[in-house]
């Protein structure tokens, strides 16, 4: 009887030991599986966060390219693609990390978006090269235009200088100017009260550069008080952007050779004693001047 009890006790102990071992093994496997599940969850969370970061980075790349694009059509395409990236990013944020199917799909979408961006980068590079070429061509054209303008200005200035030289060279010149105070018979008078006529003589010098043809010669006789002797205040001619009175005018034929000219002033007014001056004009230029004195 005692032996039977001992055997039963041993069997019970063995059963208890086996149960303890079984429980321990089961607890170990349960703990190990939980650890693996936790690790997988952490990995899934990290993968999702990394995917979100990649979407954010892609969106920033689109934004950076948009800042340097001036092509409206390409800019609109980049804007549309960036909006698509943002939409998928918002969708990704709502997906649970454990949803491997959705994470995988969104990862594939990211790969497609990257390929699209690469195609746009190629277009942007091509556009930038074309723009750079246009800038270079514009600079070349601008430089050539500036050089041409400079040359044209130089030619214009040279032409203007030449025209001025020709004009100066073609200017007539009156030399040998003399004034005789005479009576009506042509006899020189010493007393001013007997003077009835002023006879003005001069020579227009030879000038082969002057244009041949008729010339109107004007003479201004200035009194000692700087007033001009004139028969009418309507007798004027153009000089230095204005009109001035003349005393006498005469038309002569000029062919480039010397021409002797005589002009007459009939004294019909009171002549005061003092120093007078005679100025000769032609073609809008003063071509000679001479002072003379009349005494009592």
Give me the half-sphere count of Cα atoms (radius 13 Å) on the Cβ side of residue 111: 6
The Cα 105–Cα 110 span in angstroms is: 9
What distance in Å separates the CA atoms of residue 89 and residue 55, rounded to the nearest whole number? 6
For the chain, first and last CA: distance in Å? Answer: 193
Q: At what angle do helices 100-170 and 2-67 cross, to 10 degrees?
A: 20
pLDDT band at 46 (very low <50, low <70, confident <90, very high): low
4-29 per-position pLDDT tens digit:
666 667 777 777 777 777 776 666 66
Tell me, yes or no, if the pTM score tops 0.85. Answer: no
* pLDDT > 90: percent of the chain: 39
Place of tokens 């699209």: 116
pLDDT tens per residue across span 55-67: 888 888 878 777 7
Residue % of the chain over a pLDDT of 70: 85
Say whether 212 sits in a helix, a strand or coil. Answer: coil
Q: Tell me the Cα Rg of the chain.
A: 58
Phi, then psi, of 209 in degrees rounded to 5:
-85, -15
- Among all chains, which residue has been given the structure tokens 């010493």? 190
pLDDT of 244 strictly over 50: yes
Gap between the Cα atoms of 73 and 79, Å rounded? 10
Q: How many CB atoms lie within 10 A of CB 237?
A: 14
For residue 99, what are the β-bridge partners?
Answer: none
What's the confidence (pLDDT) of residue 31? Answer: 55
Instruction: Tell me the average pLDDT of the chain.
Output: 84
Q: Phi and psi of 230, rounded to 5°? A: -150, 145
Q: What is the pLDDT of residue 85?
A: 80
Q: What angle do CA 104, 108, 113 make, to 5 degrees?
A: 145
In whole angstroms, what is the distance from residue 127 CA to residue 135 CA? 12
């Amino acid at each position: 009887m005692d032996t039977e009890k001992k055997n039963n006790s041993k069997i019970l102990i063995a059963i208890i030991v086996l149960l303890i071992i079984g429980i321990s093994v089961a607890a170990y496997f349960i703990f190990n599986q939980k650890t693996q599940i936790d690790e997988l969850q952490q990995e899934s969370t990290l993968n999702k966060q990394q995917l979100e970061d990649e979407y954010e980075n892609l969106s920033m790349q689109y934004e950076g390219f948009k800042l340097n694009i001036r092509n409206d059509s390409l800019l609109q395409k980049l804007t549309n693609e960036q909006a698509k990236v943002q939409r998928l990013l918002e969708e990704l944020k709502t997906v649970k990390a454990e949803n491997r199917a959705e994470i995988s799909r969104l990862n594939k979408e990211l790969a497609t978006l990257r390929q699209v961006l690469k195609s746009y980068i190629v277009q942007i590079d091509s556009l930038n090269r074309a723009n750079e070429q246009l800038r270079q061509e514009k600079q070349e054209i601008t430089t050539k235009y500036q050089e041409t303008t400079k040359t044209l200005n130089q030619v214009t200035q040279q032409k203007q200088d030449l025209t001025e030289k020709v004009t100066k060279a073609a200017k007539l010149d009156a030399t040998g100017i003399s004034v005789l105070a005479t009576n009506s018979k042509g006899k020189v008078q010493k007393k001013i009260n007997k003077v009835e006529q002023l006879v003005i003589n001069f020579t227009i010098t030879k000038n082969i550069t002057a244009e041949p043809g008729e010339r109107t010669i004007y003479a201004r006789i200035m009194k000692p008080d700087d007033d001009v002797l004139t028969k009418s205040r309507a007798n004027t001619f153009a000089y230095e952007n204005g009109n001035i009175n003349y005393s006498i005018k005469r038309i002569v034929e000029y062919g480039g050779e010397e021409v002797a000219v005589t002009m007459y002033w009939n004294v019909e007014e009171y002549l005061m004693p003092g120093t007078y001056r005679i100025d000769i004009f032609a073609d809008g230029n003063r071509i000679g001047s001479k002072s003379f004195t009349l005494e009592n």
